[in-house]
Structure 1
Amino acid sequence: MEKTGNAQSRQEKCEEDVPKSSPFDFVIKQFKGKKSSPGKRKEQPSAARKVFGGLDFVKSEVKDRRETEETEINRADDQNEKEDLSTQDGPSHLISEAESPSGKQRFNQFMQKLGKKPNSKNLDLNNCALSETDVTELASLLPFLPELEEISLSWNGGVGGSLKALTVQLHHVNLLKVLRLNNCRLTAEDVTSLGEAFEIVPQLEELDLSWNSNIGGKLSLLTKKLQKGCKIKFLKITDCNLTAKDGESLAQILNVIPNLEVLDLSVNKHIGCSMKIIAQDLKNVPGLKELNLHMCGLKQDSLQGLDTALQHLAELRKLDVSCNREIGGGFKDSTAHLASLKNLEVLDLHQCCVTEEDMTVLSQVIPLLSSLQELNLSSNKNIGVSSEPLLSRLRFLPKLKSVAISNCCLREESFSSLVLLTQDGHLARLQKLDLSYNDNICDEGWAVFCKGLAVFKELSELDVSLRPSSCRDCGMWFSELLAALTKLPALAELGMQRWVLSESQRKQLESFNQDNKRSIRFDC
């Protein structure tokens, strides 16, 4: 009885410990309210299983709901992030469309096809056998090259007749500074389209149209489009069959290109007829540094007009009037302003039929050009009989580096005068000396020259070759030459063509470099 009562009291105690309204009652009620499937009898769970099973169910429900909510939140965040990125990428894509990878890839492929390395600033396609199709393809690539500063299409005949396809796209490269179209067979239509392009390339500084013979007579199609304040500094129209009318058109634009520094009209034989007109307008380009008029059909009156213009060209560094044979005899009346060119560094007068009277004047003027570095008087055969005064005064030109007196019929007296230039350290900077094709010099004259040769410490090139039709033995002066070579540390090339050397002399030259640890190239 006691045991039964104790069990009953323990049971009552347990029942008292269980709250009348437990948090899990709703779970138990849910299980009680569910009906078993038809035909099956569901085993009734114990009270503990009901309680803890319900607890697991609640935890699972809470966990599933939490994971679902987190998933939804993550999805929303991802979507928002994608929308933000899409919003950001849109304008960026539009702005950088010209620099898209596909455009750059096309450009790289185009350059590789032509065997060239891609360069976004310098487009060098010289001598690439470009066709009209290539030019059109190149034009389509210009929008992808906004940083382009130089375009060189020289020596491509296929450019002719198709240049317009390129010029209409030049507004994409408004930083363009250099345009070279040498020998491209340009047509009148090309010249016209090029002129129209000047308005969309405001930064253009260099224009080279040399060796396009069809430009002749049509230069006005280009020049009339130039606007005042044009920034062109280098204008080269060499060998373009320019006419006197073209010369007049050129003269008219000199007042709209005040920054011009280089003007090259060489090898235009008919432009000399308008040189007086051009010379009158050269005053509008006071900063001109280089004037090339080689083989331009200049006459004596052209030279006079040019000399008058020189008073306005104080910055001139190079003057080339070579191969204008009809100006011979005109220097005596046209050198009044030549002496004022204190900055002149290069003076080229070769093959100008200079007379003895001209030499008398030039001998007084040239020594006054204190900045002169290069002097070329070659192929003026009358210089020989009157060269002594000039050669003896070259010592007044301390910066002189190159002297060419080839084919001038020099005499022994001329060499003596040149050697007396060289005494007391004068002409110490001379690096190149061309005395070739002066076949009248006797052996004694060459010996005198070689004895004085050692003073040219910086001399790197010396040419004493004879004419192609001549042939002479070196004679007594060879030993003097060999002795002088040991005292010329900078000499790298010696021209001795058509001088006949004995076997012994040849061996001496062959062993000279090895014995003296030199590398002179003997052109014998």
Structure 2
Amino acid sequence: MNQTRKKNSSNGEICPRFDLPTNSSGVQNSGPPKLQAKKENEDLKTAGSQPREGWQKTATLDTAEALGSEMDLGSRTEKNDQFSQKLGKKAVDKCLDLNNCGLTAADIGEVVSMLPFLPDLEELDISWNDSVGGTLHSITHQMCLVSKLKILRLGCCRLTTEDVQAIGEALEATPELEELNLSWNSKVGGNLPLVLHSFQKGSKIQKLELVDCALTSEDGAFVGQLLPKLQNLEVLDLSINGSIGDSLDSVAQGLKSTSNLKVLKLHSCGLSQKSAKILEAAFCYLGELRKLDLSCNKELGGGFEDTPAQLAMLTHLEVLDLHQCSLTTNDVVSLTQVIPLLSNLQELDLSANKKMGCSSDNLLSRLRFLPALKSLLINNCALERDTFTALAEASIHFPALEIVNLSWNKCVGGNLKLLLETLKLSTSLQVLRLSSCSLVTEDVALLASVIRMGHLAKLQKLDLSYNDSICDTGWAAFCQSVPFLQELAELDISRRPSHFRDCGPWFRHLLRAMTKLPAITEIGMKRWTLSAAQEEELRSFTQDQRGIHFDHGGAQEAEFPCLTKL
């Protein structure tokens, strides 16, 4: 049948048209298709079985158009591939990841030209590209062509107010959106309703990240009103927005309607004592919460003094971050009643709370009821001998422990033997940080013995920096044990600033050990000075071990630039 195309008079769209066959007189036939086909065959025979000239021309034209389209598509695909390769990225139909690529204005033009050829695009990430700011409208105008988009990341793009408005308009054309990241764009602050006005009840958004966006208290109030519409929301990150605390009443009220929420981050949001109680009222509605981050809210101290019973209702909680919250002695006493009830807890960060040192022995001893604990960060808590002893006794009940940070707790020095059983039993330990713990030679010798027995075979990162009381004998014993850490990737034995000291004979043992560690990439050794012979040894080492970054740093780096090697 003769097939041509015409414009629909009502909307200008190109649509197919099927013409009825005509007889020899030019009159259109009617009737059942079979009879039409029979009559058409007879007409063809009469004409010597030759198709009509018009039909032949139309078929040739359509074939040429199809071939042209295929050639254009092939050319565009090739250009897309070349563009992606230039940026060191792999072109994927459903994912365009241009994160931190140093895009230029010309590159932005290339991105715009690519979008019409990516109708199945589900993920677009152009974060950490400063040149995006002021040009985003050229991309958002094409959003209607990628209506299947599920993930949009525009973090740290120096967005302008006009860009922010353009995003709000573009989101109306992306009904499938599940993740939006606008973090580190200060112009979002004060303009949040312009961005998120299209989010209506039934929105599919699951992850909303607005870190360091200079959000105002009015923006916070808007978030509180918006949350009940986001029934699928699983991750909400409002961190580093100091004014959120002023509108926390509204935010907390909205949180009561987000029963599917799994991650809530309010790091450095200006929360106060009152804020803790406001949030507690919302906790009983967040039964699916897995991660709660209230860290770096220095005015939060005292907010947990009354037993935070609602916190205990977060029975699925896996991560609790309360570092640098100025927790008081009474806060610690109250948390002692709650934290041990969070039986699914895997990560606990109580670091940089100085009052922990004199009041946390009961809390730390009761951590034995958290068998799933994988990460324990309790650095810079001014622990005392009794609290450290309580921690050491509880830690043998952590079979899954992978990360331990006890840095900046001076009481560890001379008492590392209290952790001996833990170090022997922690077969999963990957990260051990003991920086500035006043370790002595006996401590390092004990650690070396444990390493040689193979108890820390999974260790990947070991930080012994800023422990300046260890003599050469201790460092020699330690360096000779290092080859037993076959998975070690990072080692830091740097000294304190301005505390320079000559390397002993143990330096040769250290270099020899590094050649036997297949995973090692970083060696921190700042403020250790080398003799001429040791400098030569290091030169040879850096020539042979090109995959290792040896950070000698400090004043010596300027004098001996060869000592810092990439």
Q: TM-score, normalised by structure 1?
A: 0.79
Shift of 1:197: 1.5
CA contact (8 A) 2:119 2:145 kept: yes
- Structure 2 match to 1:495: 463
Q: RCO (CA 8 Å, sep 6+): is it higher in 1 or 2?
A: 1
Q: What is the rounded CA distance, in whole Å, between the counterparts of 2:241 and 2:467 in structure 1?
A: 38
**Aligned residue number for residue 446 of structure 1:** 416
Structure 2 vs 1, CA of residues 133 and 79 (structure 1 numbering), >3 Å: closer, same or farther? same
Contact 1:127 1:153 survives alignment (8 Å): yes
Does 2:432 align with 1:459?
no
SS of the aligned residue for 2:230 comes to coil
Match of 2:111 in 1: 138
SS in 1 for 2:229: coil
**Which residues of structure 2 form unaligned runs of 5+?**
1-46, 494-566
Query: 2 CA distance for matches of 1:517 and 1:143?
Result: 52
**1 CA distance for matches of 2:226 and 2:63?**
49
The total of aligned residue pairs comes to: 443
Kept in 2, the 8 Å contact 1:183–1:211? The answer is: yes
1:504 aligns with 2:470: no
Residue 403 of structure 2 is aligned to residue 432 of structure 1: yes
Hey, what does 1:483 align to over in structure 2?
A: 449
CA distance in 1, matches of 2:487, 2:87: 39
Q: Which amino acid aligns with 2:450?
A: A
Structure 2 residue aligned with 1:275: 248
- Identity score, percent: 44
Mean Cα displacement is larger for which, 193-202 or 399-408? 193-202
> What does residue 388 of structure 2 align with?
415
Q: Secondary structure at the match of 2:282?
A: helix
Q: CA RMSD in A?
A: 2.6
Deviates more, 1:124-133 or 1:282-291: 124-133
The corresponding residue for 2:532 is none
Distance 1:253 1:93, change over 3 A: farther
C-alpha deviations, 1:435-493, integer Å up to 9, x for none?
Answer: 000014452x33323354322222121111107xxxx5614333332232323332233
Map 1:66-465 to 2 at 5 A.
86=60, 89=63, 100-333=73-306, 335-423=308-396, 426-443=397-414, 445-450=415-420, 452-465=422-435
- Give the 3-state SS of the residue equivalent to 2:335 in structure 1: helix
Q: Matched residues in 2 for 1:187 and 1:226: separation? A: 21
Q: Distance in 2 between matches of 1:334 and 1:490?
A: 39
The amino acid that maps onto 1:449 is L
Distance 1:483 1:389, change over 3 A: same
Q: Conserved in 1, the CA contact under 8 Å of 2:347 and 2:374?
A: yes
Distance 2:261 2:327 in 1: 26
What are the superposed Cα offsets for residues 293-326 of structure 1, whole Å, 9 maximum, x if unpaired? 0000011112111111111111100000000010
How far apart, CA to CA, are the structure 2 residues paired with 1:208 and 1:517? 39
TM score, norm. by length of structure 2:
0.73
Question: Is the contact made by 1:431 and 1:459 (CA closer than 8 Å) also made in structure 2?
Answer: yes
Q: Aligned match of 1:523 in 470, 475, 492?
A: 492
SS at structure 2 position matched to 1:291: strand
* C-alpha separation in 1, matches of 2:72 and 2:329: 66
Is 130-139 or 208-217 further displaced after alignment?
Answer: 130-139
Q: Secondary structure at the match of 2:124?
A: strand
Deviation at 1:217, TM superposition (A): 1.0
Looking at secondary structure, tell me which structure has more helix per residue: 1
Q: What is the distance in 2 between the residues matched to 1:253 and 1:90?
A: 52
- Deviation track 1:195-252 (CA, whole Å, cap 9, x = no partner) reads 1112211111110000001111111111223222111111000001111011011112
Deviations 1:403-437 (A, max 9, x none): 000000111112221222144xx211111110000
Query: In terms of Rg, which structure is larger?
Result: 1
Amino acid at match of 2:482: N
Write the distance in 2 (CA, Å) between the matches of 1:512 and 1:322. 37
Q: Distance in 2 between matches of 1:335 and 1:205?
A: 33
1:89 Cα shift? 3.5
* Matched-pair contact (CA < 8 Å) for 1:299–1:327: yes
Report the alpha carbon displacement of residue 517 of structure 1 after superposing the two structures with TM.
Answer: 6.9
Q: Which amino acid aligns with 1:478?
A: V
